[in-house]
Structure 1
Amino acid sequence: MDTIFIIIIILIFGIIIKKLFTQTINPYRFSKILIWAQQGKYFNFLGYPIFYYDSSVRDASAMSKPTLLLLHGYPTSSIDWLYMRDELEQRFHIIAPDYIGYGLSAKPISFPYTISSQVNMIEQLMNSLNLNQFHIMAHDVGDTIAQEFLARQIDDRQYIIQSIVFLNGGLFPEAHRPFFMMKMLKTPIIGVIIQYIVSRSLFSLTINRVFGPSTKRTKQELDEITDLLFYNAPYNLIQQLQCYINERIICRDRWVNAINKVQKLEKNPIPIRMINGPFDPISGKHMVDRYREIIINPDICLLDTNIGHYPNLEDPENTLKHFFDFHNSIST
């Protein structure tokens, strides 16, 4: 009991200190984020505003093109797709949401930040836009969200997933190698304390560890990421968001089996490709090796050996090449 009391006191003290010495976070101070926000829209989910990018804002012909749902990673947001957007828009109608708890979307203090809740939100978004068939490209936690989409496709949802491209992500929990801080952040109480005691600069350094040796982010780019992460964030946000790591273990069979099952569906089988940055210490080449062991007819494209966890940021040109080669092959 005394230990719990001491932890609570430390937490309260940390919150007060951080509030006193931390400047108000304003991601709109960065022109890149401001322009992205101005080109986006908001959708109401359970009373919470959810930000999403819809290419029809810029592209008058978007509605005549096939739809591509872009699912970003943790701890970033839909702006991750900015460097691939122009090329993708030439062929697709793009929808790229910020999940609840991420980016410019609402970050309620009390919300079940589960993968299922995120998929429920995206399902409602796509339904509100009358988009009932779409391709998916996903990254990191977006891979896990896409896996739940695949599992629901087997459950006979009324929408049709036309294809999936996975970028680096923890598809198999036994092959996922999270950093020590990631493990601590998902731990109740401890994760909350870390969120308020650890400086944003240390978070930035942790983020940069997953990039390749020649593709690390600049200080401004890291500030953009952390501003979007902590913008309007409650005291316990990071600890809650990190719990998807636990869900991967609990739902492992459902989500892993779904990848194989959807490729064998009699009606509308779903083609799948993996594009991987092998330098990634969390889900790089070792995740590819596990993918080859488990997945039937694995379709894998490896990027340069120095590309890390964020192919869409570190090597958008070659990621796009492999993505379009895949879509050219399935369209014929």
Structure 2
Amino acid sequence: MDYVLFIFILIIGIIIKKLCTKAINPYQFTKVRLWAEEGNYFNFCGHPVFYYDSIVRDRSAMSKPALLLLHGYPTSSIDWIYMRDELEKRFHIIAPDYIGYGLSAKPILFSYTILSQVNMLEKLMRSLKLNQFHIMAHDVGVSMAQEILARQIDDRKYIIQSVVFLNGGLFPESHRPFFIMKMLKKDILGAIIQNIAPLSVFASGINRVFGPSTKRSKLELDEMTHLLFYNAPYNLIQRLQCYLNERVKHRDRWVNAMNKVQLFKENPISIRLINGPIDPISGKHMAHRYRQLILNPDTCLLDAHIGHYPNLEDPANTLKYFFDFHNSL
């Protein structure tokens, strides 16, 4: 009976939302359209994955060290657009949309786990013949970077040269997800909320993690939500939110890896955290926990008004701390 009621509510919600919402089309936005035109696709398990490769704009990219840029939830690789020009001067940058995000495929049957996404990232980098690379990761991307570091210990098939973490749930005990995020990861409830709530609800949720003076405009929020829900199955948000459970499950393995890789006798991996302190989810309190748990803790706090998205809210100072770190390697 509960299942029948769920299906009924879901169908009614989908109908109402479709009647009240304009067609989801991220390509209507100039910034997204230009980003897409400069991107490419590769195949992972039959699913097209979008990625930006700076070789499109920089013919000398292959002579530079590679940098893998890992975006956050629930946005996409376009988050790096304000840092792209400066990064391309020194690096060959690769910025993918994970499966279920942005312009990549959003299959209904895919296993949206951190482990599956890292499998995809490994295949992408192999396809590009990039066997050594640096990483900069944000939000859910920090969990993927942690899993990559753990694989460096398990079986080092490629070399990670350094990692810079931006705001993200590195330690689940210090991560403070909003109540709505906890609700969205529940099987039935998450799907109902996705299909009944208007886009403005999700836009408002995204804007809550920005600093008080760095909130996004309606246009920017429209770009984000259209990229999120473009070609999305009815239960996408619930499936994506399950990374919160993985952070708890793999916590010790991932945290231990952050310390062990710094002690490698050959090619030790240097790590830095750049943090927007006013972020209510993973702000200054996450940086404090980082200093408690990580060997040789290298942390940089941005200005007090910067929130969860350093790459969007303060790209200039994020780049400064990023380049200072690389200059010291």
Superposition map of 1:155-194 within 5 A: 155-194=154-193
Aligned-pair distance for 1:6? 2.1
Superposition map of 1:86-97 within 5 A: 86-97=85-96
Distance (whole Å) between structure 2 residues aligned to residue 23 and residue 211 of structure 1: 26
Aligned to 1:65: 64
Aligned-pair distance for 1:268? 1.2
Distance (whole Å) between structure 1 residues aligned to residue 86 and residue 4 of structure 2: 55
Distance (whole Å) between structure 2 residues aligned to residue 66 and residue 289 of structure 1: 31
1:196 equivalent to 2:216? Answer no
Aligned-pair distance for 1:157? 2.5
Aligned to 2:137: 138
- Paired AA for residue 140 in structure 2: V
Aligned to 2:297: 298
CA contact (8 A) 2:26 2:230 kept: yes
Q: Give secondary structure in 2 for the equivalent of 1:44.
A: strand
Aligned to 1:98: 97
Superposition map of 1:37-76 within 5 A: 37-76=36-75
Stretch deviating more after TM superposition (275-284 or 264-273): 264-273
TM-score calculated relative to the size of structure 1: 0.98
Spell out structure 1 runs of 4+ moving beyond 3 A: none
Aligned to 2:245: 246
Q: Deviations over 1:16-68 (max 9, x none)?
A: 22233322211111110010000000001111110000000000100000000
Superposition map of 1:302-313 within 5 A: 302-313=301-312
- Paired AA for residue 89 in structure 2: Q
Distance (whole Å) between structure 2 residues aligned to residue 197 and residue 256 of structure 1: 38
Root-mean-square deviation (Å): 0.8
Aligned-pair distance for 1:106? 0.3
Q: Deviations over 1:132-184 (max 9, x none)?
A: 00000000000000000000001123100000000000000000000000000
Q: Give secondary structure in 1 for the equivalent of 2:328.
A: helix
Superposition map of 1:252-271 within 5 A: 252-271=251-270
Distance (whole Å) between structure 2 residues aligned to residue 31 and residue 15 of structure 1: 28
1:147 equivalent to 2:146? Answer yes
- Paired AA for residue 147 in structure 1: Q
1:80 equivalent to 2:75? Answer no
CA contact (8 A) 2:21 2:198 kept: no
Distance (whole Å) between structure 1 residues aligned to residue 254 and residue 181 of structure 2: 21
Q: Which runs of 5+ in 1 are unaligned?
A: none
Q: Give secondary structure in 2 for the equivalent of 1:16.
A: helix
CA contact (8 A) 2:106 2:232 kept: yes
Q: Give secondary structure in 1 for the equivalent of 2:187.
A: coil
Percent of aligned pairs sharing the same letter: 75
Q: Which runs of 5+ in 2 are unaligned?
A: none
Aligned-pair distance for 1:9? 1.6
CA contact (8 A) 2:64 2:91 kept: yes
Q: Give secondary structure in 1 for the equivalent of 2:161.
A: strand
1:116 equivalent to 2:108? Answer no
Aligned-pair distance for 1:266? 1.4
Aligned to 1:36: 35
TM-score calculated relative to the size of structure 2: 0.99
Aligned-pair distance for 1:252? 0.7
How many residue pairs get matched?
A: 329
- Paired AA for residue 128 in structure 1: S
Q: Give secondary structure in 2 for the equivalent of 1:164.
A: strand
Q: Give secondary structure in 2 for the equivalent of 1:163.
A: strand
Distance (whole Å) between structure 2 residues aligned to residue 102 and residue 206 of structure 1: 17
Distance (whole Å) between structure 2 residues aligned to residue 241 and residue 7 of structure 1: 20
Q: Give secondary structure in 2 for the equivalent of 1:217.
A: coil
